[in-house]
Amino acid sequence: MASLNDLKTRIKSVQSTRKITKAKQMVAAAKLRKAEEAATAARPYGERMEGVLANLAASVKDAANAPKLLAGTGADKVHLLVVATSERGLCGGFNSSIVRKARETLVRLQGEGKQVKILTVGKKGREQLKRLYEELMIDHVDLGGIKSIEFAHAQNISDKILGLFEAGEFDVCSMFYGKFKNVVTQIPTEQQIIPTVAPEGVEPPDLKGAQYTYEPDEDSILEILLPRFIGVQIFKALLENQASEQAASMAAMDNATRNAGEMIKDLELQFNRARQAKITTELVEIIAGAESV
């Protein structure tokens, strides 16, 4: 059995840990409110843009001459996986769930004979994937030190991806991130961003019978709109990730705080038992000494 001093030290150590996890939980809760508002506010714009894109894409007369971002390269050999995770840990299984979904897709694509390349956004995903797939990793985007996600950050990632696409480095690009549902649930999500496809269930805007004439033509508008659309989708994914990270962190720190409390109770019980045993032993020794005299 551990000595009284050892138990005292362990109790103080766990109490200190509980203070840290409680503080981290409160910080995550404060950040979550702001991150959730940003993610919720971005959804209507992203969904409306998806509808506009679906309407324009349906109006393209010559699919063969459509912009490459919409029609693709005509091949399906090289896939780029953009894996977006957090820069910090202490958020439960948030990062692992995203990486797991990306690995499942990677294994499936390799099983189909496709070539896979990886671009990571966030340090934690990079650390996990580097152990097994370092040779597939072509680039990394570091978002450390950024207090809040701005569109400029998403635009930088978009420009990097579009540059690789124009250079013929890949045929299909998919992004992996955590979609925020609520404080308890964050859904690992895979979204194809190149060639651009409207998500399932998105319908073109209801024109109520109106006839639209595009100036210039649909193809010219799509040439401008598609890169912007990709940037918006990346921005939305980063905001969803930010909210999901804080929710997962808050839940993980809440669990850690409660576990620390239970551990303290167990250690205090052990301490009281050890102290009682020591007192009883000393009393027995005193009584035995008195009787021997």
Q: Any idea what DSSP says for residue 183? A: S
pLDDT of residue 181: 87
Q: Name the catalytic one among 91, 149, 226, 239.
A: 91
CA-CA distance, 116 to 102, in Å (whole number)?
11
pLDDT > 90: percent of the chain: 34
pLDDT of residue 104: 94
pLDDT of residue 196: 80
Average pLDDT, the chain: 84
Q: 91: closest CA among 15, 178, 16, 176?
A: 178
Q: Is the pLDDT of residue 210 over 70?
A: no
Is residue 158 within 8 Å of 227, Cβ to Cβ? yes
Q: 243: closest CA among 30, 58, 32?
A: 32
Is residue 83 within 8 Å of 125, Cβ to Cβ? yes
Q: Where are the domains of the chain?
A: 4-21+254-287, 27-199+212-252
Q: Is the pLDDT of residue 200 over 80?
A: no
Angle at 105 between CA 104 and CA 108, to 5 degrees: 90
Helix axes 4-59, 218-292, angle to 10 degrees: 170
* Both tokens assigned to 183: 């404080």
Instruction: Please tell me whether the overall predicted TM-score, pTM, comes out greater than 0.85 for this model.
Output: no
pLDDT of residue 143: 85
Q: Any idea what DSSP says for residue 169? A: S
Task: Return the number of other C-beta atoms located less than 10 Å from residue 286's C-beta.
Answer: 10
- CA-CA-CA-CA torsion for 29, 30, 34, 40, nearest 10 degrees? 20
pLDDT > 70: percent of the chain: 86
Residue 140 has phi, psi (to 5 degrees) of -145, 140
pLDDT of residue 87: 86
Is residue 180 within 8 Å of 240, Cβ to Cβ? yes
pLDDT of residue 52: 73
Is residue 70 within 8 Å of 60, Cβ to Cβ? yes
Q: 80-84, 216-220, 242-246: which range is least confident on average?
A: 216-220
* Both tokens assigned to 264: 């303290």
Tell me the average pLDDT across 206-219. Answer: 61
- 91 is a catalytic site residue: yes
Q: Could you report the per-residue pLDDT of 9-66, keeping only the tens digit for each?
A: 889 999 999 999 999 889 888 888 888 888 888 888 877 777 777 766 666 655 566 7
- Distances in Å between the alpha carbon of 74 and those of 67, 71, 77, 82, 186? 12, 7, 10, 21, 34
* Both tokens assigned to 96: 């692992």
Tell me the average pLDDT across 233-248. Answer: 91
Q: Could you report the per-residue pLDDT of 98-113, keeping only the tens digit for each?
A: 999 999 999 999 999 9
* Both tokens assigned to 28: 């995550």
CATH 2.60.120.10 fits 27-199+212-252, yes or no: no
